Every structure is written in C-alpha cells, then in structure tokens.
Amino acid sequence: EFLQALRTAQLQLDAEKTRNRELEGKNAVLEANKPKRSKKKNIPEELAAYEVEIKTLAKKYGVMVEMYFPTTEAISQPTPLPLPAFNTADRCASPLAEGECLVAELDSILPDHIKRVRPSNHFQDVFASAMQTGCSDIIHKLRNNADNIFGLPKSHFVTTCKRLKVPAVIEMLGMKDASKPTYTIWFPFLFKDMRVNMRKPFSNWKPLSQILKMALWGQTSLADGYVRRGGPITNGQRWQVSAVTPGCIAWAATLSMFLLSPDSEFPGNGTGTVSKIMYRSVFREYKQLLVIKWADPHIQAIVAEMNKFIFGGPGKDNKSGTSANMAEDLTAQIDAALAAMDAAGLTDDDNAEEDPPQPVLSAPGSPLTSDENFADDPCIPNSTVSEHTLSEATATTS
C-alpha cells in the first residue's frame, strides 16, 4: 500500500509539473504580446493601454495625411464644430482655417476612445515619436531600393555618398551650380521627361507611385511581376488603405527630394541638417496645391494612374493587371486631360513647353519668402504662392 501511494503521489506530482510548464508557456506568450506600458509616471492606465494602437495610427497618419505632427498649440484644440471640410480649398483660406482643418483631419482617423485622449501630452509624445520612427524605417528601405525608383546605382543613395557630385542627381534637382547649391521646390524630377511645366505638376507620377507602393506593400512589391498574395501583414493592410490621398502624394514627392539631397537623416524639426531645405514647408506646399486642385482633370488623371499602379486588383499583377486596350484608353484620357489643362493655362505671353527653374532663396533659418514668378501660373493658386521657397545651403555638402 505504501508503494502504491508513493507511485500515485509521484504521478500527481508529474501532472502538476506538466501543468505548471504549460501555464508558464502561456504566461510567456501573454507577456510577449502585452502592450508595453510607458515608463513615465502619472500616466493613466487607460491611456497607457492604447499605446500600440496610437503608434499604428501615427504611422498611417505620417504617410497618408501629414508628414509632420501639428504644433502643440493646434493639436491641443478641441474638435472644431461644425467640422470644416479639410479636403477643399477652404482649408487654405486663412491660418485659422488651416489649423482647424489639421485638427479635424487628425480626428477623422482616430477612433472615439483615442480621440478622447488626443489633448494629453502623453498622446502627443507617443504619436509624434511613432511618426518619426515610421518615416525613418521607410526611408531606410527606400534607400535599399532607390536604384529602381531613380534609375541610378544604389551606391548613390547610401548615406555617405556625396550626391551633389553626381551629375544625374544635380540634373534631377535642377541645380545650376552644385558648388553653391540652391534648391527649387518644383524640381525637374517631379515632371515628365524632366521638363518643368507648372501646368503639369507631378506628371512624373511613376517614381512617386513606387515610393508609396513600397511604403504600403513592402520592398518586394517593386520587383517585376510582383503579385500581392500572402505573407506578413503590410502597412497597406494594417492601415486599410485603398486609394492615394493629397497627403500621401505630397509625402512621396517630399521624400523624393530628400533622397536626392545631401541630407542623410530625415529631420524631425523639418529642416535638413546639410541642405537646409525646409521639408515641412515643401510638404505643405505640395499638399495645398493637391487639395486645391484635386478635382482638376490633370490631377485626377495622375491619381487614376497612381491608384492603378499601387493598388491594382486583388490577386493581380499591379503592373500589368489590365488589358492593353484599357491601358491605351487611360493613356488617351490622360493626354486629353493634359491638353485641356494646357489650353486653359496658356496665354499669349506664356506658350513655352518648359518653364525655367525658379528657385527663391532665403538664408538658412530665415522666414520663407514669396515667389512672384509662380504667382501668375494658372496651376498654382494664389493661396499657395506664399511659401514657394527653399533655403540656400551655405555649408559644405556631404
């Protein structure tokens, strides 16, 4: 009886050990998946629990809506009522209207339980930090694939490359003298065939689409014959994105300037360390134009091409998922739209096919000045002319 009792006790002990190991394994899994709590003190438990969700929303916002986090003064304001139409030209009517639209646009992507904590300092810290981290991660991947986007050797895009000594880069940026670099916001790379024509902004849409496609679907999406199937969850799936926005087109255009510039790190403060380019103002200029001119036939033709290239259709090759006839039809539509835009924009005094670069310079750190050369262009609304400028790099470029 004693031996039998001993064996029974041993079996029970073994069973308990097995159960403990199973519980330890489950606890390890739960701990690994538990959202990391902020180490800051006095953070409400409810707010700390939302950090993972806030970071995901911040990365989406940083690509699809605004490249830079709004100022603390703007973001601390309550949601304006009635809600302003932030995707219309009305947002550019005044600084007050623009500030209200920034808040309304941010709130439009936040669920109610996150919207309630938006005014808190902790939300702003987490959100802004995640935006910067997300952008830096995408830029690192873009550098690894820049040869596909710009048609130049990959070595030209490593952080140590002296890009302003590369003739092709100088041409893309529209520089006349790389020894005294000046930058123009409407640089040749943004235009078809590198011909600056302000009646056709963003006409070189394919590289911008490649930048966005990689940001949304990953590095492999730029490969020839890519077909979106299974695999890890991508940003596009996580963010539930299905079409381009004024914000993301402006984001891609600004990043194309950054990747060509001598700057190695994307500036969180909005100004390039080496180039002194005011990236925050560059992005704002692009987005304002796109918002104001969104319904224009030329812009809508560009949007249609970008949507087809980036999103294609489920299970289809995004590059060739449509028939040749459909591609020809879309090309014809774009040509017609561009012709209509040209006809509307040309005057007796302005019939040149290519506009000369019009950089407007300011000393590093000084306020932006207006560009009178663009003020009469039919494609540039007056409300966006006030900041058509980049600064002049006076330091030695890298």
Decide if 277 contacts 271 (C-beta within 8 A): yes
Helical packing angle, 205-217 and 246-260, nearest 10°: 100
Taking the model in full, what pTM does it have?
0.72
**Residue indicated by tokens 């605004």:** 66
Q: Which residues pair with 350 in a beta bridge?
A: 347
Whole-angstrom distance, CA of residue 230 vs CA of residue 223? 16
Decide if 188 contacts 198 (C-beta within 8 A): no
User: Mapping DSSP to helix (H, G, I), strand (E, B) and coil, where does residue 271 land?
Assistant: strand
- Exposure letters 147-171 (e unless 16+ CB within 10 A, then b): ebbbebeeebbeeebebbebeebbe
Could you list the pLDDT tens digit for every one of the 398 residues in the chain? 777 777 777 878 877 877 777 777 656 545 544 555 445 556 667 677 788 899 999 999 999 999 999 877 777 778 777 777 787 888 888 888 888 888 889 999 999 989 888 888 888 899 999 999 999 999 999 999 999 999 999 999 998 899 999 999 999 999 988 888 899 999 999 999 999 998 999 999 999 999 999 999 998 888 877 777 777 889 999 999 999 999 999 999 999 999 999 999 998 889 999 999 999 999 999 999 999 999 999 999 999 999 999 998 433 333 433 334 434 444 444 444 445 455 554 333 334 455 554 443 332 332 222 333 333 333 333 333 333 334 433 333 33
Type of residue at 121: N
pLDDT at 34: 54
Handedness of CA 375, 381, 386, 390 (dihedral sign): negative
